Structure 1
Amino acid sequence: MARILVVDDEVGIRELLSEILNDEGHEVVSAENAQSARSARATQHFDAILLDIWMPDTDGVTLLKEWAGQNALAATPVIMMSGHGTIDTAVEATRIGAIDFLEKPITLTKLLKAVSVALNRGKAPAVSARPASMVQAAPVVVASVPGMMPSVLQAVTTEPAAAPSPPGLDLPLDAPLREARDAFERVYFEHHLAREGWSMTRVAERTGLERTHLYRKLKQLGIELARKKAEANSA
C-alpha cells in the first residue's frame, strides 16, 4: 500500500481519484490547492503525488518548480494532470521533473499505469504471483467411473453455484420512472458487489461497465463502497 497525495481544486475529481486509488489499496490524502498541498507535504511523507495544473492560488507547474528547487522530486514522483493542457505544457512539466502527464478526463487504465510506474520507479523488477482473481483454474477432466453417483459427477463437473438472487424487489412502482429505475439499479449493483466480493474489476466485467463509469454510477446511487465493505467484512 502506498500513500498518495491528490491535488486538485475540483472536489469531484478529488473524490473520484480517491475512490479509485482507495479501491486499489492505497491511502489517499486530498488537497484543494497549492497551499494545502504544501502543508500536507510538510507533515507527511507521500510515495507519489497527482498534481493538477490549473488551480486558483498557485498553478501546478509553479508548484512543481518549487518542489524541484527543493530537490523533493527525487523522493516523491509527481504526475501532472490537466483538462486544458497542451503539448508545450506537458513537455515543460516533464522537463522540470514530472514523471508523467495525464490529460483529463483521465481513463482508469492510464491512471493506474502512471501510478504503478511512479511507485515502482527505481525499484528492481520483481516476479510476483498473479492475483487470485486473474488466475484461471486448470480444466478438470472427469473420467466416467462405473457406479459413480450422478449427484457426485454433477458436483465435480459443474461450475460453482452462483450467489442467490436478491429476495423480491420492493420497488416503488407508483413512483416516477427515474426514481423506480434508481431503486432497481441500487439493488442490482449491491447484489453484484456482494456476489463478486466487492471487487470493482469483476463487477465492471459482470455489468459491462468501464470502471470509471461504474464508480460514478455507484456514487450517483449513494452506494458507499467503504461502508459496504466494512459491513461485509464484519458479518
Structure 2
Amino acid sequence: MKELGLKVTDRYIGGVFFESNWEGCYKANLHSRLASRILKPVLDFTAYQPEELYSQILRHDFTKYIKPNQTISIDASVNESKMRDQRFVAMKVKDAIVDQFREKFGVRPDVDNTNPDLRIHVRAIKNQFNVAIDTSGDSLFKRGYRKEVGDAPLKENLAAGLLRLSEWDRQSPLVDFMCGSGTFLIEAAMMSLNIAPGINRKGFGFQNWLNYEEETWEKVVQEAMDAEKKNLISSSMALISINAF
C-alpha cells in the first residue's frame, strides 16, 4: 500500500488499514499483488440480540451503492459471540438491507451468492461486529490470465507474497523447481515487467456501484499501462521452469 502512495493507518494479523479517495481504492485493487480483497469498512457496533443486529445495520444506507434490481450477497463469520450461527447472522443482515430498499423503492435486490453486484462482509468477535463492503468483487488472486485451473492450484497472491519474502530483485535469474502451472514464473514475469496484476481481470466490484467513477478508473488503468516495461528480452531476467518426476 505504501508503494502505491497510500496512507497506511494500522495493521493487524491478516490485513492492513489505509486511507484514500476512490482513486486510491481503484489503484489498490488494480496493483496489489498480495491482497485477497480491498474492503471498505462502513459499520462497527456491539450486538447481543438479533433485534440489535437488525437495527444497527439500518444505521448505514446501503441503497446508495446499487439499484434495487441489482443483487447482493452476505458473507458472515462469527467467533465467541452470543449469536453463534453465522447463517442466521447473514440472514438477519440481509433482511435489514433488503428492507431498506423495499421501504425506499418498493422493491428489493435479490441474493446472488455467485456473482453479486454488492458483497457485504460481516465479522463478529465477542459480540463486536464489523461490517464492510467489498470493492474487489472476485478475490484478487484471480488475475484473469488463466482460462483453466488444475487441482490444488497455488493462489497467485500467495506466490507473489513468497517471491516478495524471498527478496528477489526482479532482475536476477529465477529457477522454479516446483513448476506446475507456472504461477511463480508468471507472477515473477509480471513483477519484472511492472504489469499490474489486475490488468487482465474482467472487472471489479466497485464497477457495479452507482458511485463508480469511470473516468478515474480509466486514468488509473492508463497510468498502469504506461508504466509497463514493454520488452522482456531487454531485461536481464531469466525465468527457468524445471519439472522433476
TM bucket normalised to smaller: under 0.3
Larger RCO (CA within 8 A; separation ≥ 6)? 2
The structure that is strand-richer by fraction is 2
* TM-score, L = length of structure 2: 0.27
TM-score, reference length from structure 1: 0.28
User: As a proportion of its length, which structure holds more helix?
Assistant: 1
